[in-house]
Structure 1
Amino acid sequence: MKRIFHFILFCCMTALSATAQEKKAFTLEDVIPGGENYFNLVPKSMPGLQWWGDVCVRTDVEAIQQIDLKNGKEKPLVTLEEVNAALSGNNLPYKPEYSIKPLRTLSGASLPWGDRKVILFSGKAGNEQVSENYMFCYDFGKKQITNMFRIPEQGAANYDFCKANGYLAYTAGDHLYIANQGETSKAVSPKKDNEKLHDIVYGQAVHRNEFGIYKGTFWSPKGTYLAFYRMDQSMVTDYPQVNTSTRIATLEPDKYPMAGMTSHQVTVGVYNVQSGKTVYLQAGDPTDRYFTNISWSPDEKNIYVIELNRDQNHAQLVRYNAETGAKEAVLYEETHPKYVEPQQPLLFLPWDSSKFLYQSQRDGFNHLYLFDTASEVTPVEKEAKAGGTYKESVKVTPLTQGDWLVQQVLGFNPAKKQVIIGSTEISPLQTNIFTVNVNDGKRTLIGKEDGMHYAQLSASGTYLIDNFNSFSVPREISLLPTNGKQGTVLLTATDPLIENYNLPEITLGTLKSADGKTDLYYRLIKPVNFDPNKKYPAIIYVYGGPHAQLIHNNRFYDARGWDLYMAQKGYVMLTVDSRGSDNRGLNFENCTFRHLGEEEMKDQVEGAKFLQSLPYVDADKIGVHGWSFGGFMTTNLMLTYPEIFKVGVAGGPVIDWHLYEVMYGERYMDSPQDNPEGYKNSNLREKAGNLKGRLQVIIGGTDPTCVPQHTYTFLRACIEAGTHPDLFIYPEDGHNMMGRDRVHLHEHITRYFEDYLK
Structure 2
Amino acid sequence: MKRFIFFAISLSVSLSLFAQNKLFNLEDLFKTRELYAENLSQLQWIPNTYDFVYVKNNLLVKGTLHQKEVDSFVTLNELNDALINAGLSSLKSFPYILHWTSEHGFYFRWQEKLLHYTIDKKNIDKQISINKEAENIEIDFKHAQLAYTIQNNLYVVEENASPFQINPTAPEDVKFGHIVHRNEFGIENGSFWSPNGNYLAFYRMDESMVADYPLVNTSTPMATLKNEKYPMAGETSHQVSLGVYDLKTKQIVYIQTGEPKDQYLCCISWSPDENYIFIAVLNREQNHLKLNQYDAKTGQYIKTMFEEKNERYVEPSHPMYFLPNNPNQFLWLSRRDRWNHFYLYDLSGKLLKQLTKGNWEVKDFAGFDPAGNNMFFYSNKDEITGNHFYTLNLKNQKITRITNESGTHRIMASYDGTYFLDIYNSIDIANEIKIKDRKGEEKALLLKNKNHLSNYALPETRLFTIKNPNKNDLYCRMILPPGFDSNKTYPVFIYVYGGPHSQMVTNTWLSGGWFLHYMAQKGYIVFTLDNRGTNYRGFEFESCIHRRLGDLEVEDQMCGVDYLKSLPYVDITRLSIDGWSYGGFMTLSMFLRHPGVFNRASCGGPVIDWKYYEVMYGERYMDTPQDNSEGYKKASLLNYVDSIQGKLLIFHGCMDPTVVWQNTLQFIDKSIKAQKQVDYFVYPSHGHNVGGIDRLHLWKKIENFHAY
Query: Which TM-score applies when normalising by structure 1?
Result: 0.90
Give the letter for the 2:631 counterpart: G
CA distance in 1, matches of 2:479, 2:58: 42
1:296 aligned residue (270, 278, 281): 270
Unaligned runs of 5+ in 2: none
Matching residue within 44, 65, 69 for 2:61: 65
Say which SS state the counterpart of residue 246 (structure 1) adopts: coil
1:13 is the counterpart of 2:8: yes
**Any idea what SS the aligned residue of 2:475 has?**
strand
Please state if 1:453 is matched with 2:409: yes
Say yes or no: does 1:357 pair with 2:331: yes
Aligned to 1:211: 185
Equivalent of 1:178, from 151, 156, 160?
Answer: 156
**Is 1:560 aligned with 2:513?**
yes
Aligned pairs for 1:6-405 (under 5 A) are: 6-22=1-17, 23-29=20-26, 34-37=29-32, 39-55=33-49, 56-59=52-55, 62-71=58-67, 73-89=69-85, 92=86, 100-114=88-102, 117-124=104-111, 133-151=112-130, 153-191=131-169, 195-196=171-172, 199-285=173-259, 287-373=261-347, 376=348, 393-405=349-361
Structure 2 equivalent of residue 380 of structure 1: none
Q: In the aligned structure 1, how far is the partner of 2:486 from the partner of 2:129?
A: 66
Shift of 1:534: 2.3
Aligned to 1:728: 681
Cα distance in 1, alignment partners of residues 206 and 9 from structure 2: 74
The superposition leaves residues 164-218 of structure 1 with CA deviations (integer Å, 9 ceiling, x where unpaired) of: 32111122222211111225111122215xx42xx11111211111111111111
Deviation of the 1:416 alpha carbon? 6.7
Q: Tell me if the contact between 1:296 and 1:303 (Cα under 8 Å) persists in the aligned partners.
A: yes
Does the 8 Å CA contact 1:41/1:495 hold for their aligned counterparts? no
Is 45-54 or 676-685 further displaced after alignment?
Answer: 45-54
Identity of aligned residues (%): 40
Rounded Cα–Cα distance in structure 2 between residues aligned with 1:642 and 1:101: 63
- Alpha carbons of 1:477 and 1:656: their partners in 2 closer, same or farther (altered >3 Å)? same
Instruction: Show the 5 A alignment for 1:386-535.
Output: 393-415=349-371, 417-497=373-453, 499-515=454-470, 517-535=471-489
Q: Say if 1:446 and 1:682 are closer, same or farther in 2 by CA, change over 3 A.
A: same
Letter in 1 for 2:494: I
Q: Distance in 2 between matches of 1:276 and 1:487?
A: 51
Name which of 501, 517, 542 aligns with 2:496: 542
Q: Deviation digits for residues 18-65 of structure 1, max 9, x if unmatched?
A: 12211123134268xx5334x311211112122332442224663333
Change (3 A) 1:190 1:461: farther
Change (3 A) 1:182 1:114: closer
Deviations 1:313-366 (A, max 9, x none): 011111111111111110010000000011110100001111100000011110
Give 1:728 shift. 1.0
Query: In 1, distance between residues paired with 2:520 and 2:301?
Result: 59
Q: Secondary structure at the match of 1:112?
A: strand
Question: How many Å separate the matches in 1 of 2:407 and 2:217?
Answer: 44
Number of the residue aligned with 1:714: 667
Q: How large is the RMSD of aligned CA atoms in angstroms?
A: 1.7
1:629 has 2:582 as partner: yes
Shift of the 541–290 alpha-carbon distance from structure 1 to 2, 3 Å rule, reads: same
Question: Residue 600 of structure 1: SS of its match in structure 2?
Answer: helix
2:385 match: secondary structure: coil
Structure 1 residues 112 and 320: alpha-carbon distance in aligned structure 2, compared to 1, 3 A threshold: farther
Q: Which of 569-578 and 595-604 deviates more?
A: 569-578
Per-residue deviation at 1:455? 1.3
User: What is the SS of the residue equivalent to 1:241?
Assistant: strand
Letter in 1 for 2:97: A
Change (3 A) 1:51 1:189: farther
Alpha-carbon contact 1:410-1:457 (below 8 Å) kept: no
**AA matched with 1:107:** P
CA contact (8 A) 2:240 2:262 kept: no
SS at match of 1:12: helix
Tell me which amino acid in the other structure corresponds to 2:220: T
Q: From the superposition, tell whether residues 568 and 144 of structure 1 become closer, same or farther in structure 2 (CA, over 3 Å).
A: closer
| 3-state SS, counterpart of residue 583 of structure 2 | helix
Aligned residue identity for 2:427 = F
Stretches of structure 1 that go unaligned for 5 or more consecutive residues are 1-5, 93-98, 125-132, 377-392
The within-5 A match list for 1:633-648 is 633-648=586-601
**Does the 8 A contact of 2:370 with 2:415 survive in 1?**
no
Partner of 1:388: none
* Contact 2:127–2:159 (CA under 8 A) maintained in structure 1: yes
Would you say how many aligned residue pairs link Structure 1 and Structure 2? 704
CA distance in 1, matches of 2:596, 2:472: 25
Which residue pairs with 1:128 in the alignment?
none
Residue type matched to 1:294 in 2? I
Quick one: distance in 2 between partners of 1:342 and 1:478? 34
Greater CA deviation, 506-515 or 650-659?
506-515
The verdict on how the C-alpha distance between 1:246 and 1:30 changes in structure 2, with shifts beyond 3 A counting, is: closer
Q: Helix, strand or coil: the match of 1:487?
A: strand
- 1:120: how far off? 1.1
Contact 1:28-1:746 at 8 Å conserved across structures: no
Give the secondary-structure state (helix, strand or coil) at the position aligned to 2:329. Answer: strand
Question: Cα gap change, 1:547/1:489 in structure 2, threshold over 3 Å: closer, same or farther?
Answer: same
Q: 2:277 is paired with a residue of what secondary structure?
A: strand
- Conservation of the 8 A alpha-carbon contact between 1:685 and 1:714: yes
Runs of 4+ in 1 over 6 A off after TM superposition: none
Say whether the 8 Å CA contact 1:269–1:281 is kept in structure 2: yes
Distance 2:163 2:631 in 1: 51
1:360-391 CA distances to partner (integer Å, 9 max, x unpaired)? Answer: 00111100000022xx4xxxxxxxxxxxxxxx
- Preserved CA contact (<8 Å) 1:169 1:179: yes
Q: What residue number does 1:687 align with?
A: 640
CA distance in 1, matches of 2:463, 2:99: 42
The answer on whether the counterparts of 2:383 and 2:406 sit within 8 Å (CA) in structure 1 is no
User: Is the CA contact 2:369–2:417 (under 8 Å) kept in the aligned structure 1?
Assistant: yes
Preserved contact between residue 95 and residue 109 of structure 2 (Cα < 8 Å) = no
Kept in 1: contact 2:243–2:255 (CA 8 A): yes
> For 1:449 and 1:526, how far apart are their aligned partners in 2?
24
CA distance in 2: counterparts of 1:641 and 1:28, whole angstroms? 35
Contact 1:513 1:578 in 2 (8 A): no
